[in-house]
């Protein structure tokens, strides 16, 4: 009886066993197509992972009184020996924190912006004024040759002043702000100079190695002005003015620069923050080239797309040159960074680069298109440099002799020297990408210019 | 099976209308990946579940009123039941336990019932699960910090309520309606669907309303028709750990990035079924046909690192059909049943441009127009076979009722995907088989029906990502709908879902 009842049971168990035995086959899964091509967005975000491109966090707002003091100092020509140059002269908000000149023009000049004219007996500064935009985002090196740096740790600032650098500086940007006032060509002037009112230039009397004395003299000018005393008291409450040094002023200037010149809401920023529609297709294509075929990200990597390293990019030589190597400018000084390679210059951040022409350390290229074409074939561009793209005043500053070009090419980084083979449309795409790095809010910075400064000197 | 199986990339909109909504059957499941779904909704008591789930040519006195409320007309006595159900996904991929209790009753020409259930679902992943971007190599090395995030290692509770009411009209006609609402705080596997996320807070519900008509003949034949409407509305508040550059500290750090995803799918369905005995042979035959029309007004932006990228604002619609034929034979203490179902499905999903976007061909797609389109054509088949055997045991009044069976679900689809932005088009063909052996036993003891059902679902898996550094479980879902775009190879780690259900039914005179 039991045997008969179990007929179906046995059959069922047999069926299950057979099916179970087939399990490995039944669970196989098939496809007849290869994996799909990754979308542009997928490819781009993959490159972001490789090159450390991540969103940039908000900058902690500095003390408002400190920023207010810094704003006044930034626009006040009282900081210059001849009372004719302010920080804003070469880092004008009207020119997006830079000037529009290939090589900046320091003290003793006249005019502003593109109409600024070299004074009699003066010479151009050896390099282009770098834009201040986003320099407050934690740079590690400042100046084109990186002579001011902060690599972290105690006593971390490395500057030309060495041990003379006072303590109390709060950032590398503040450390950088200590030095233009010590530079004769930029702000301090020459012995025997007089300002427009006939006042003698007491700052120029010091030797260039007397950093402390120069800073002290600038500070004496500031504390003699009631407006600055009030602003210093507000910015540093409880600290006697008599104990304030120029490092305090530098901290204020840096606080202002950090507040006023930080712009991180470009289409690219929004794209990095997961808004796939923020960039145009052309800009995305350019971005992909940037990180791949064009090899731009070899140097311009990280959240700032640069600013953290040095490179020899085969840039044509312009200007009076620097130091013992003049009329050449060899860039990074080996005594500061221990580098032996020549023509190494700081790789700038490309954020808002569209707004900061001309480009490179000496303003050799007038447009982004020219920069991209340079990288497309560095040797060809260097040997056939089109000097006509320069303002007529700067054409004579070009050092295009064969020996100089050969020296530059010999030092050019291999990753840059190899031609890229970019087509015209790819160059347009790269330029479109570079334009997507522009924060619209950075296009017009005129509102940050104060009507007056405590010294009473003209702001413009 | 111990090693992950590399799956070819789907590269398509991933559509998985998973789990037959809350109430069983008549809402057709659509899957584009062999994902392990868990058994979150498999807690309804059933007399035939252990027979491979056969249903076309056999009646299920326990489950039928929950499938078509008009079948409650067959209730002849007051009946209370409870069916605690436990399931576990292998490889610690999750599990859950559900305690449903309910009753069915009849009074005069009226009949009805109610069920409530409390469910506890375990998390299907460990916390935290963060993907740090690889390859960051700064000259000045950054530090990657962490931020405190809510942990989701605790179980979540879902609640279900079902009610049905019907009336026997005349001449064997009955009409009834049912409503079921699920208050959901976790859907199985959804916490696997947002790669890189630190936490996912789910909330929402599933409303399932049915109106059924049944005609029973004294010969044992029956015809039924049913209208189904199902609305899934879930909100997923996802917190991602986002690596960012902190300019104040000049380091890389982590911060929470909240993202809200909505999951909306509405289904209208029509189901027709017929069943009859074949003379006195002991054989029964049956057939059914179902139509589901689904709209997906908003689907979540599921993300799987390097594999599935979200297609934001991705709506879609589907038309799913199935037709089935079943036979069963009752011969003395033995029962055999077989179901065969064919299931064609058409799905169309797309992404919409939130703003005008330029294509690689230089054309402009206006805002609101389609950026990508995926057309799926499914040709699925389901086979279920089951048997039952009553064994008389000396000294025991009620026979021991043994059941066994197996079901196989073969899924095949063809995909055509058009990317209007990249101006590309491609086709893909996918197929796999899921199968589930089932077993069970029941016995009446002291007037109480005791029943046990067990089943294991094989052929599914839990996708993960295999790269040099990270192998992370990604996918294991029974969410009502999933729409995302895989863009790279998926790695499927095979898992099985094992379910045990004990049910106690107390018929009262």
Model pLDDT, residue A34: 53
Contacts of B488 in chain A (CB under 8 A): 35, 38, 42
Model pLDDT, residue B230: 92
Give the CA distances from residue A36 to residues A46, A143, B307, B425, B427, in Å, rounded to whole numbers and listed in that order: 15, 46, 11, 10, 9
Residue in B248, B385, B422 closest to A39 by CB: B422
The residue written with tokens 């021991």 in the block is B400
Give the CA distances from residue B304 to residues A8, A31, B195, B264, B299, in Å, rounded to whole numbers and listed in that order: 47, 20, 5, 20, 15
Q: Mean pLDDT of all residues in chain B?
A: 80
**Is B86 in contact with B455 (CB distance < 8 Å)?**
no
Candidate from A358-362, B209-213, B324-328, B389-393 with smallest mean pLDDT: B389-393
Model pLDDT, residue B22: 41
User: For residue B492, is pLDDT > 90?
Assistant: no
The CA distance from A296 to the nearest CA of chain B, in Å, is: 15
A78-95 confidence digits (pLDDT tens):
999 999 999 999 999 999
Task: Categorize the per-residue pLDDT at B38 as very low, low, confident or very high, splitting at 50, 70 and 90.
Answer: confident
The answer, for A282 touching chain B at a CB cutoff of 8 Å, is yes
Model pLDDT, residue A112: 87
Print burial letters for B453-481: b (CB count within 10 Å at least 16), e (below 16): bbbbbbbbbbbbbeeeebebbbbbbbbbb
Contacts of B431 in chain A (CB under 8 A): 29-30
Other C-beta atoms closer than 10 Å to the C-beta of B414 total 16
Coil, strand or helix: which one is A310?
A: strand
Q: Do B426 and A33 touch (CB under 8 A)?
A: yes
B214-229 confidence digits (pLDDT tens):
999 999 999 999 999 9
Task: Categorize the per-residue pLDDT at A289 as very low, low, confident or very high, splitting at 50, 70 and 90.
Answer: very high
Model pLDDT, residue A51: 93
Chain B residue whose CA is closest to A13: B404
User: For residue B311, is pLDDT > 80?
Assistant: no
User: For residue A268, is pLDDT > 90?
Assistant: yes
CA angle A104, A107, A110 (to 5 degrees): 80
Kindly report whether the peptide bond that precedes residue A35 is cis, defined as omega within 30 degrees of 0: no
* pTM recorded for the entire structure: 0.76
**Is B485 in contact with B309 (CB distance < 8 Å)?**
yes
Q: Do A27 and B255 touch (CB under 8 A)?
A: no
**Is A245 in contact with A166 (CB distance < 8 Å)?**
yes
Q: Which of A103-107, B231-235, B311-315 has the highest mean pLDDT?
A: A103-107
d(CA B478, CA B160): 16
User: For residue B23, is pLDDT > 70?
Assistant: no
Mean pLDDT of A420-442: 97
Q: Do B459 and A285 touch (CB under 8 A)?
A: no
B357-383 confidence digits (pLDDT tens):
888 888 999 988 998 888 989 999 999
Model pLDDT, residue B16: 37
Q: Which residues contact B239 (CB under 8 A, 6 or more apart)?
A: B149, B150, B197, B198, B199, B200, B256, B257, B258, B259
How far is C-alpha A38 from the geometric centre of its chain's CA atoms?
Answer: 32
Give the CA distances from residue B453 to residues B44, B87, B422, B504, B507, in Å, rounded to whole numbers and listed in that order: 11, 11, 51, 12, 19
Model pLDDT, residue B307: 43
Contacts of A262 in chain B (CB under 8 A): 247
Q: Which of A49, A133, A305, A311 to mutate to test the interface with B (most CBs of B within 10 A)?
A: A49
Contacts of B132 in chain A (CB under 8 A): none
Q: What is the DSSP code string of B247-298? A: TTTTEEEEEEEEEEEEEEEEEEEEEEEEEEEETTTTEEEEEEEEEEEEEEEE
Give the CA distances from residue A102 to residues A201, A317, A360, B84, in Å, rounded to whole numbers and listed in that order: 28, 11, 9, 80
A383-412 confidence digits (pLDDT tens):
999 999 999 999 999 999 999 999 999 999
Model pLDDT, residue A287: 97
User: For residue B313, is pLDDT > 50?
Assistant: no
d(CA B478, CA B498): 15
Model pLDDT, residue B372: 85
The residue written with tokens 């499914």 in the block is B378
The CA distance from B163 to the nearest CA of chain A, in Å, is: 36
Half-sphere exposure of A231 (CA within 13 A, CB side): 23
Mean pLDDT of A279-286: 93
Model pLDDT, residue A153: 60
Give percent above pLDDT 70 in chain A. 89
The CA distance from A138 to the nearest CA of chain B, in Å, is: 5
Considering only residues B454 and B488, tell me which one the structure prediction assigns the higher pLDDT.
Answer: B454
User: For residue A19, is pLDDT > 70?
Assistant: no
Model pLDDT, residue B5: 29
Task: Categorize the per-residue pLDDT at B470 as very low, low, confident or very high, splitting at 50, 70 and 90.
Answer: very low
Other C-beta atoms closer than 10 Å to the C-beta of A197 total 8
Q: Which of A303, A305, A332, A338 to mutate to test the interface with B (most CBs of B within 10 A)?
A: A303
Q: Which of A258, A264, A164 is nearest to A208 (CA)?
A: A164
Considering only residues B311 and A354, tell me which one the structure prediction assigns the higher pLDDT.
Answer: A354
User: For residue B144, is pLDDT > 60?
Assistant: no
Candidate from A3-17, B198-212, B275-289 with smallest mean pLDDT: A3-17
Task: Categorize the per-residue pLDDT at A6 as very low, low, confident or very high, splitting at 50, 70 and 90.
Answer: very low
Q: Do B387 and A7 touch (CB under 8 A)?
A: no
Q: Which of A22, A28, A36, A344 to mutate to test the interface with B (most CBs of B within 10 A)?
A: A36
Mean pLDDT of A232-237: 97
Whether complex ipTM tops 0.85: yes
Contacts of B390 in chain A (CB under 8 A): 5
The answer, for A33 touching chain B at a CB cutoff of 8 Å, is yes
CA angle B160, B164, B170 (to 5 degrees): 165
B51-95 confidence digits (pLDDT tens):
999 999 999 988 999 999 999 999 888 999 999 999 988 887 788
Model pLDDT, residue A343: 93
Q: Which residues contact A147 (CB under 8 A, 6 or more apart)?
A: A159, A160, A332, A333, A336
Residue in A29, A37, A49 closest to B134 by CB: A49
Q: Which of B320, B411, B485 is nearest to B34 (CA)?
A: B411
Task: Categorize the per-residue pLDDT at B125 as very low, low, confident or very high, splitting at 50, 70 and 90.
Answer: low
Task: Categorize the per-residue pLDDT at A20 as very low, low, confident or very high, splitting at 50, 70 and 90.
Answer: very low
Q: Which of B87, B118, B86, B90 is nearest to B102 (CA)?
A: B118
Q: Do B133 and A138 touch (CB under 8 A)?
A: no
């Amino acid at each position: 009886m039991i045997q008969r009842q179990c007929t179906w049971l046995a059959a069922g168990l047999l069926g299950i066993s057979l099916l179970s035995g087939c399990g490995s086959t039944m669970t196989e899964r098939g496809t007849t197509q290869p994996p799909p091509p990754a979308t542009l967005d997928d490819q781009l975000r993959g490159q972001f992972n490789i090159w450390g491109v991540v969103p940039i966090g908000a900058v902690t707002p500095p003390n408002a009184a400190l920023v207010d003091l810094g704003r006044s100092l930034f626009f006040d020509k009282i900081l210059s020996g001849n009372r004719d140059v302010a920080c804003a002269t070469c880092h004008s908000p009207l020119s997006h924190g830079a000037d529009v000149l290939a090589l900046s023009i320091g003290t003793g000049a006249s005019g502003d912006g593109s109409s600024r004219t070299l004074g009699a007996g003066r010479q151009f500064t050896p390099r282009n004024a770098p834009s201040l935009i986003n320099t407050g985002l934690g740079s590690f090196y400042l100046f084109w040759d990186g002579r001011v740096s902060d690599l972290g740790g105690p006593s971390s600032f490395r500057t030309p002043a060495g041990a003379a650098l006072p303590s109390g500086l709060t950032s590398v940007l503040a450390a950088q702000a200590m030095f233009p006032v010590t530079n004769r060509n930029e702000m301090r002037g020459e012995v025997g100079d007089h300002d427009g009112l006939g006042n003698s230039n007491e700052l120029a009397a010091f030797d260039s190695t007397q950093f402390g004395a120069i800073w002290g003299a600038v500070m004496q000018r500031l504390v003699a002005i009631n407006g600055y005393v009030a602003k210093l008291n507000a910015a540093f409450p409880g600290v006697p003015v008599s104990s304030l040094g120029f490092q305090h002023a530098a901290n204020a200037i840096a606080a202002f620069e950090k507040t006023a010149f930080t712009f991180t809401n470009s289409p690219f920023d929004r794209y990095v923050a997961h808004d796939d529609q923020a960039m145009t297709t052309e800009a995305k294509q350019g971005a992909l080239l940037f990180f791949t075929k064009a090899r731009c990200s070899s140097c311009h990597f990280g959240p700032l797309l640069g600013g953290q390293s040095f490179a020899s990019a085969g840039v044509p030589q312009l200007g009076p040159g620097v130091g013992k190597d003049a009329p050449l400018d060899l860039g990074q000084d080996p005594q500061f960074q221990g580098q032996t390679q020549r023509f190494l210059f700081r790789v700038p951040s490309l954020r808002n680069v569209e707004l900061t022409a001309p480009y490179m350390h000496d303003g050799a290229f007038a447009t982004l298109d020219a920069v991209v074409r340079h990288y497309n074939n560095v040797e060809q561009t260097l040997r056939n440099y089109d000097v006509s793209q320069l303002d007529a005043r700067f054409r004579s500053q070009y050092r295009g002799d064969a020996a100089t070009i050969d020296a530059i090419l010999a030092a050019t980084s291999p990753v840059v020297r190899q031609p890229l083979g970019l087509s015209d449309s790819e160059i347009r795409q790269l330029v479109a990408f570079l334009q997507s790095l522009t924060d619209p809010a950075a296009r017009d910075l005129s509102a940050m210019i104060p009507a007056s400064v405590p010294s009473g000197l003209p702001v413009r | 099976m111990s090693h992950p199986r590399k799956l070819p990339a789907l590269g398509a909109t991933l559509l998985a209308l998973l789990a037959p909504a809350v109430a069983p059957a008549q809402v057709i499941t659509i899957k584009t990946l062999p994902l392990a779904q868990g058994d979150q909704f498999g807690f309804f008591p059933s007399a035939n579940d252990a027979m491979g789930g056969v249903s076309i040519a056999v009646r299920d006195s326990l489950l039928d009123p929950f499938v078509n409320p008009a079948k409650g007309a067959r209730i002849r006595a007051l009946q209370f039941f409870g069916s605690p159900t436990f399931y576990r996904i292998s490889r610690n991929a999750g599990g859950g336990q559900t305690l449903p209790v309910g009753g069915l009753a009849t009074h005069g020409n009226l009949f009805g019932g109610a069920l409530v259930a409390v469910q506890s679902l375990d998390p299907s992943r460990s916390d935290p699960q963060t993907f740090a971007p690889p390859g960051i190599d700064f000259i000045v090395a950054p530090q990657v910090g962490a931020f405190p995030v809510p942990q989701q290692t605790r179980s979540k509770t879902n609640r279900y309520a079902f009610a049905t009411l019907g009336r026997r009209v005349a001449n064997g006609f009955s009409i009834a309606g049912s409503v079921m609402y699920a208050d959901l705080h976790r859907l199985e596997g959804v916490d696997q669907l947002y790669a890189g996320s630190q936490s996912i807070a789910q909330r929402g519900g599933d409303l399932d309303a049915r109106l059924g008509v049944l005609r029973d003949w004294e010969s044992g034949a029956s015809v039924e028709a049913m209208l189904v409407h199902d609305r899934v509305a879930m909100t997923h508040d996802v917190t991602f750990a986002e690596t960012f550059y902190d300019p104040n500290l000049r380091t890389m750090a982590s911060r929470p990035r909240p993202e809200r995803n909505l999951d909306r799918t509405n289904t209208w369905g029509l189901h027709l079924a017929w069943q009859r005995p074949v003379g006195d042979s002991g054989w029964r035959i049956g057939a059914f046909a179902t139509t589901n029309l689904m709209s997906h007004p908003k689907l979540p932006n599921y993300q799987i690192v390097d594999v599935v990228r979200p297609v934001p604002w991705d709506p879609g619609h589907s038309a799913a059909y199935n037709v089935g034929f079943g036979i069963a034979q009752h011969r003395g203490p033995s029962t055999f049943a077989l179901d065969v179902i064919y299931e064609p499905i058409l799905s169309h999903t797309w992404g919409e441009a939130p703003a005008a976007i330029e294509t690689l061909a230089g054309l402009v797609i206006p805002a609101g127009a389609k950026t990508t389109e995926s057309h799926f054509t499914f040709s699925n088949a389901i086979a279920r076979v089951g048997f039952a055997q009553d064994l008389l045991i000396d000294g025991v009044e009620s026979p021991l009722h043994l059941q066994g069976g197996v079901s196989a679900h073969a899924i095949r689809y063809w995909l055509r995907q058009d990317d209007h932005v990249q101006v590309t088009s491609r086709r893909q063909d996918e197929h796999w088989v899921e199968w589930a052996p089932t077993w069970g036993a029941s016995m009446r003891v002291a007037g109480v029906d005791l029943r046990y059902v067990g089943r294991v679902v094989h052929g599914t898996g839990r996708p993960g990502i295999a790269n040099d550094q990270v192998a992370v479980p990604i996918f294991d879902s029974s969410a009502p709908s999933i729409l995302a775009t895989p863009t790279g190879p998926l790695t499927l780690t095979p898992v099985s879902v094992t379910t045990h259900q004990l049910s106690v039914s107390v018929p009262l005179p």
